[in-house]
Amino acid sequence: MTIKNPIYVTQPFLPPLSEFTPYLENIWDSKILTNNGPFHQQLEKALCEYLGVEYLALFSNGTIALITALQALRITGEVITTPYSFVATAHSLLWNGIKPVFVDIDPSTLNLNPARIEASITPHTTAIMPVHCYGHPCDVDSIQKIADDYNLKVIYDAAHAFGVQNERGSVLKYGDLSVLSFHATKVFNTFEGGAIVCPDAKTKKRIDQLKNFGFVDEVTVVGPGINGKMNEFNAALGLLQLKHIDQALVRRKGIDATYRELLKDVKGIRCLRDAGEKVANYAYFPILVDADYPISRDALYQKLKDQDIFARRYFYPLVSDFPMYRGLPSAHRDNLPVATDAALKILCLPIYPALRQEEQGRIVELIKRA
């Protein structure tokens, strides 16, 4: 039987169009479409307040934000990062002429393993770029200690970490810079968008210049910047999304809890450790399909797909397996046993606020019947 309504791993939350109409009319009447317009300024301020950070620079997308963050800190040489991420993490390094050095991940969190970092530091290493995978915070204290000991910068790819906190507040405050993505698949989205969380006004000023071609004023350019500005339509959607984000997070938490309860006795299916309400944003629901499950991860993926349930093998393949990276010494699978194993077992199940309980039950039933 063909299912009429496909279920994807994530779907963007969109408020009713009637709520968006006043914003559109305001933009239309003002004729200000981009270049640090009023909605852009309002969203930066609102996000700082919501996320508990002092300075934030909006971007057209998270990848441009990553590229600019590296440029803002004048990173060169080699950067230690994770192979278990979306390709934008490593691509941002290549775009800046930087060599990625891949280090294995922690088996319980799938984040960059601090215990493996020091052995990969060379005289050419200038920074560490960890990823808060699935919104679960990295071991920020251990990473910062290593960075301090070796005089390295730390840039967090926090694409999944919107609103995530630890016992000391927002995880976005750690490192020299943190980079967010507001892509349509994220917990908080602006259709397309991103941001860099900055530690001080001086850094934000430099980043604001770099995302506008390096302009300081109409006739002065101080660096080879890029066009990374967020426009007014995206900013307006972000302001509207913020009104609903807490409700969306509560709904995601409930879906996460239901999955864990329904899957707890399924042999061969393993959920990642629950990071806890004060830490997680329930951005994804990854499971690991172990060897004692009756069919392979790929067979389960296909079984769900055949029923119009589009789960995702996220992250597979590893970034280090792609042609532009696999020639690097650090990309060899023998150096990355935990990441290699995780990539072969991972499957992210659908999770988004509009996912109905009966749909979730059908997904789990298919997993159980395999």
Helical (H) or strand (E) element with 253: helix 245-263
Sign of the torsion angle spanned by Cα atoms 48, 254, 185, 271: positive
DSSP, collapsed to helix, strand or coil, labels residue 200 as coil
Tens of pLDDT along 107-151?
999 999 999 999 999 999 999 999 999 999 999 999 999 999 999
Query: How much of the chain is in helix, strand and coil states, percent to nearest 5?
Result: 40, 15, 40
Separation between Cα atoms, residue 39 and residue 232, nearest integer Å? 6
The answer to whether residue 18 scores a pLDDT higher than 80 is yes
Separation between Cα atoms, residue 290 and residue 296, nearest integer Å? 8
Q: Which of 179, 180, 173 is nearest to 199 (CA)?
A: 173
Please tell me the least confidently modeled range out of 17-26, 202-211, 287-296: 17-26
Q: Which of 320, 315, 317, 297 is nearest to 367 (CA)?
A: 297
Q: Taking residues 272-290, what's their average pLDDT?
A: 88
Sign of the torsion angle spanned by Cα atoms 73, 76, 81, 84: positive
Q: Tell me the one-letter amino acid at 173.
A: K
Q: What's the mean per-residue pLDDT of the chain?
A: 96
The dihedral region occupied by 169, where left means phi > 0, alpha psi between -120 and 50, and beta the remainder, is: left
Q: What angle do CA 189, 191, 195 make, to 5 degrees?
A: 55
DSSP, collapsed to helix, strand or coil, labels residue 185 as coil
Separation between Cα atoms, residue 339 and residue 90, nearest integer Å? 15
Tens of pLDDT along 242-264?
999 999 999 999 999 999 999 99
Q: Taking residues 308-312, what's their average pLDDT?
A: 97
| Spatial contact of 229 and 34, defined as CB atoms under 8 Å apart | yes
| pLDDT given for residue 278 in this prediction | 67
Separation between Cα atoms, residue 3 and residue 156, nearest integer Å? 40
Residue found under tokens 């943190």:
178
Q: Which domains does the chain have, with CATH numbers?
A: 17-242 (3.40.640.10), 245-369 (3.90.1150.10)
pTM of the full predicted structure?
A: 0.96
167 DSSP assignment: T
pLDDT tier at 15, thresholds 50, 70, 90 = confident
Taking residue 169's Cβ as centre, other Cβ atoms within 10 Å add up to 12
Tokens of 213: 């071609």
Taking residue 133's Cβ as centre, other Cβ atoms within 10 Å add up to 29
Helix residue ranges per DSSP H, 73-115: 88-95
Tens of pLDDT along 77-106?
999 999 999 999 999 999 999 999 999 999
